Structure 1
Amino acid sequence: MLGIEDHLSRRKRGCLDGHFLVAMPGMNDERFERSVIFVCAHSDDGAMGFILNRPQPLGFEELLENLDLDSHARRKADSTRKVGMSECARDFPIQFGGPVDTGRGFVLHSDDYMSESTMPVNDDLCLTATVDILRAIKDGCGPARGVMLLGYAGWAPGQLEAEISANAWLSCPARDEIVFDRDHSSKYDRVLHHMGVSPAMLSMEAGHA
């Protein structure tokens, strides 16, 4: 399976790029049960994406402390340190992105922020996986919308196609408002609703499979 940069640096987009994957009720991997995944890259070399409905208890300020991006600021008194962080940064969401490379963070964000390491995902969204965006968010000059994801979901060549054929996933074009929505508990049902699929009927059909 290729690394995330290998997938995103390619020029040709795959048919599932910028799509949601919705786990079917019969999903046999508990890590993906009732998951909604945003596919960032899909090609003959495989696929990768991020789970969008698994919030993490870790706060952005705590994350910065753990990374020790600014050791001088970290040594300041708590109240002083908070004054130096934008309100947006303190509330910046952090989520579990998937079981691959969970020690690494990725920021999926709107295209109003760009750096040398930013990679476009589609016409509206970008991905940045370097500390420059964390500093920008801390200082209040990061993207207007974004989410930090720890780890990602990856598939080897042909694996995702096989799983879709085996009725493990439904797919549909992604909606930006759901990508950044923080109502995680209802996200799964809302994506199905946008697809015109009733969760109750989906469960019934899975029970007869």
Structure 2
Amino acid sequence: MTEVTSLTGRLLVASPVLSDPNFDRAVVLLLDHDEEGSLGVVLNRPTPVGVSDILEPWAALAGEPGVVFQGGPVSLDAALGVAVVPSGGERADPDSTPDALSGSGDGPMGWRRVHGAIGLVDLEAPPELLAAELGSLRIFAGYAGWGAGQLEDELAEGAWYVVESEPGDVSSPDPEALWRSVLRRQRSELAMVATYPDDASLN
């Protein structure tokens, strides 16, 4: 099997040719990517459900809009917390994975680095453990998952653009505009894709 270059921490931005309605104009933060598969959360699918309605103890730490986001079509009954810890990124273990959430001296207890200052939150932990450290928190219901080689096939078909993430992407106060804003900041022809009309027949 050919070795997979990990895209953990990068963004998948849906290209206009991607036809799956689950991912129309989606911006996905990859939380884990290796030869066994990939897992991420869609950053620009806010729901009408308030964080206070399902995880009241965390509501005060969730950024605006203070709602739960649909992280993807898999396990919609499961919640994932993604948070930026501005001081935590440099001390972290680069080999950490999303299922290893216990604190281990590489950031605050209950937070595990994914990439840079972005990490996963153990939602079973007391929120006050993290309150002083968190720059922002977003709660996701469900996630996006790909089996071994599946994402690579979609990339080869041109379904996704792979770009660098920025900590502010996780907590964008205007998530519906994230697809265009992420594309617009690229220093390449991708910036032009941001002008693609919502109705392809208008192009």
- Tell me, yes or no, if structure 1 residue 58 matches structure 2 residue 52: no
Equivalent residue number for residue 97 of structure 2: none
- Tell me, yes or no, if structure 1 residue 136 matches structure 2 residue 136: no
Residues 164, 86 of structure 1: CA spacing in aligned structure 2 closer, same or farther, 3 A cutoff?
closer
Equivalent residue number for residue 84 of structure 2: 110
Equivalent residue number for residue 168 of structure 2: 177
TM-score (norm 2): 0.73
CA contact (8 A) 2:63 2:136 kept: no
Q: Secondary structure at the match of 1:28?
A: coil
Report the alpha carbon displacement of residue 29 of structure 1 after superposing the two structures with TM.
0.8
Partner residue of 2:192 out of 198, 201, 205: 198
Q: Secondary structure at the match of 1:41?
A: strand
Equivalent residue number for residue 18 of structure 1: 9
Partner Cα separation in structure 2 for residue 95 and residue 163 of structure 1: 24
Partner Cα separation in structure 2 for residue 93 and residue 63 of structure 1: 10
Equivalent residue number for residue 146 of structure 2: 155
Partner Cα separation in structure 2 for residue 90 and residue 98 of structure 1: 19
CA contact (8 A) 2:30 2:38 kept: yes
Partner Cα separation in structure 2 for residue 136 and residue 18 of structure 1: 26
Equivalent residue number for residue 75 of structure 2: 101
Range 85-94 or range 123-132, more displaced: 85-94
- How much is the aligned-residue C-alpha RMSD, in angstroms? 2.9
TM-score (norm 1): 0.71
Amino acid at match of 2:119: C
Partner Cα separation in structure 1 for residue 59 and residue 180 of structure 2: 33
How many residues were matched structurally?
173
More helix by share: 1
Equivalent residue number for residue 120 of structure 2: 127
Partner Cα separation in structure 2 for residue 179 and residue 21 of structure 1: 13
Report the alpha carbon displacement of residue 136 of structure 1 after superposing the two structures with TM.
3.1
Report the structure number with the largest CA radius of gyration.
1
Equivalent residue number for residue 30 of structure 2: 39
CA contact (8 A) 1:102 1:151 kept: yes
Residues 105, 136 of structure 1: CA spacing in aligned structure 2 closer, same or farther, 3 A cutoff?
farther
Deviations 1:14-68 (A, max 9, x none): 4311111011112121010000001111111111111000012111221136xxx
Aligned pairs for 1:1-16 within 5 A? 14-16=5-7
More strand by share: 2
CA contact (8 A) 2:13 2:27 kept: yes
Partner Cα separation in structure 1 for residue 80 and residue 46 of structure 2: 14
Partner Cα separation in structure 1 for residue 180 and residue 157 of structure 2: 21
CA contact (8 A) 2:62 2:137 kept: no
Report the alpha carbon displacement of residue 198 of structure 1 after superposing the two structures with TM.
1.3
Residues 57, 24 of structure 1: CA spacing in aligned structure 2 closer, same or farther, 3 A cutoff?
same
Structure 1, unaligned runs of 5 or more:
1-12, 70-84
Residues 107, 200 of structure 1: CA spacing in aligned structure 2 closer, same or farther, 3 A cutoff?
closer
Identity of aligned residues (%): 27
